[in-house]
Chain A
Amino acid sequence: MCLAVPGKVVSIDDSADPLTGLIDFGGVQKQACLEYVSDVRVGEYVIVHVGFALQRLDEESALASLKLFEELGLLEEEFGDAWQQAARDAGAAAVTEEPRESEAR
């Protein structure tokens, strides 16, 4: 959870309060709060931590990080299903399906 993942701003919802945008993390898309980088534009890259864009990043560094994070399985750690992960760690066989809060937004 400490990791901040770079992503590309796909769209910005100017009417949202706080300011919100859709961010693409190498294929996985999620909403993030853009209030702390409020002059960011579509197509730019930002680093996102727990749903908040914290700084801009240039495209080259962003793509390099994303590629590396993907190779290392860090994107799965960040965006994968935490219950399944916890069940695996605990040695449990089955997990109950849970509505994904982050997708319900």
Chain B
Amino acid sequence: MKYIDEFNDPELARRLLDEIGATATRPWALMEVCGGQTHSIIRHGIDQLLPEQVELIHGPGCPVCVTPLDVIDQALEIASRPGVIFCSFGDMLRVPGTDRDLFRVKGEGGDVRVVYSPLDALELARRNPDREVVFFAIGFETTAPANAMAVHQARRLGLTNFSLLVSHVRVPPAIEAIMTAPSCRVQGFLAAGHVCSVMGTAEYPELAERFRVPLVVTGFEPLDILEGIRRAVRQLERGEHRVENAYARAVREDGNPAAVRMIEEVFEVTDRNWRGIGPIPLSGWRLTEAFRAYDAEHRFDVADIRTEEPAECRAGEVLQGLIKPTECAAFGTTCTPRTPLGATMVSSEGACAAYYLYRRMNGPTPQATHAVREEMNPVA
């Protein structure tokens, strides 16, 4: 079996694979929601190791990928303004806006800074009272507690030069959108482990019941993913549709209540546009009225920026599991990590990037994978 020797416990991996093979009597399609899981799956060739009956469909769980183009353009506009220090996580730098990216804006003289945590941006605001510090607050439920804390602290410290450009998204409405799409083939979900570390699993039983799908909370390591698949297939074969926690070492049923309280204090649920997918009702968070003063969209009056996404990029279909990246005509030709057309090609969790990194050659070998990595990352 290819790749399996690279697993941290190849014996256990083999046992799990054998059991999945013995359990699955007919074809099943499972969606892994999280982009981190997608990368782990492609990197380890898990999709190729699985028995033929079990297909993995990649979901929309990459926050960088689903941030809409108009929000990227808003970020570029704010970052270009004099007097602004624009702070972002590093993986947003090369996400293409309409005609440039944050990396370019910095090259043109914009003060764009990479931070590791939103609290770093807050600290910058404290040390630069004469500058406007804006933090690009993207992410799923995992990132929301950090961004909520940053704005909460800003208010407590009386900082008036700090704001968030918010584009937060939530997983459960995305699952609902995927299940109600006419072309949906998904029969079970591997739910994103770290999202559930924060939110717990309370939102999921209703979804499992309504759509009659197993939802198995799953971690990120290859063995976690195999275990999640094993449990989802077992449920499907038995005709069950329950929420199961296969990542109990990091996920409690009630999540992290302190973090959820902070999110609820600072954010309220709102409709959000997903890049490539379009609007999904109630699928995001925005700052509540009490924190509206910290909303960069209003402070810099960029709410009107609206842009069309490039037609040749099929990231929306990739993100909904309707096509694999290699089915996009631009994949590896006009669209590469160096000349990305969509965010899914640049994000470290994007499905197109994962396929470019590990699957560009037919029948990849670990050596080929290594060569592609070197080419993409010559200094490392």
Residues of A within 8 A of B349 (CB): 1-3
Q: How far is the CA of A26 from the CA of B82 in the complex (A)?
A: 40
A75 to chain B, nearest CB (A): 12
**Quick check: B117 and A2 within 8 Å, CB to CB?**
no
Interface membership of A77, Cβ < 8 A: yes
**Quick check: A55 and B256 within 8 Å, CB to CB?**
yes
A24 to chain B, nearest CB (A): 15
Q: How far is the CA of A36 from the CA of B43 in the complex (A)?
A: 32
Interface of B is mostly: mixed
Q: How far is the CA of A90 from the CA of B194 in the complex (A)?
A: 31
**Quick check: A47 and B197 within 8 Å, CB to CB?**
yes
A73 to chain B, nearest CB (A): 7
**Quick check: B94 and A90 within 8 Å, CB to CB?**
yes
Interface membership of A15, Cβ < 8 A: no
Residues of A within 8 A of B117 (CB): 32-33, 50-52, 102
Q: How far is the CA of A77 from the CA of B346 in the complex (A)?
A: 13
Which chain B residue lies CB-closest to A32? B117
Give the residues from 73 to 108 in chain B that come closer than 8 angstroms, CB to CB, to chain A: 87, 89-91, 93-94, 103
Given A1-B63, A51-B120, A55-B197, verify A36-B139 contact (CB < 8 Å): no
B259 to chain A, nearest CB (A): 5
Size range of the chain B interface in the assembly: 35 or more
**Quick check: A1 and B94 within 8 Å, CB to CB?**
no
Give the residues from 65 to 105 in chain A that come closer than 8 angstroms, CB to CB, to chain B: 65, 67-68, 72-73, 76-77, 79, 82-91, 98, 101-102, 104-105
Give the residues from 21 to 52 in chain A that come closer than 8 angstroms, CB to CB, to chain B: 30, 32-33, 35-38, 47, 49-52
**Quick check: A2 and B34 within 8 Å, CB to CB?**
yes
Interface membership of A10, Cβ < 8 A: no
Can you name 12 A-B residue pairings with CB atoms under 8 Å?
A: A1-B64, A1-B348, A2-B142, A49-B142, A49-B194, A51-B119, A64-B221, A68-B8, A86-B90, A89-B338, A98-B114, A101-B113
Ranked nearest first, the 3 interchain pairs of A and B with the lowest CB-CB distance are A51-B117, A82-B90, A102-B116
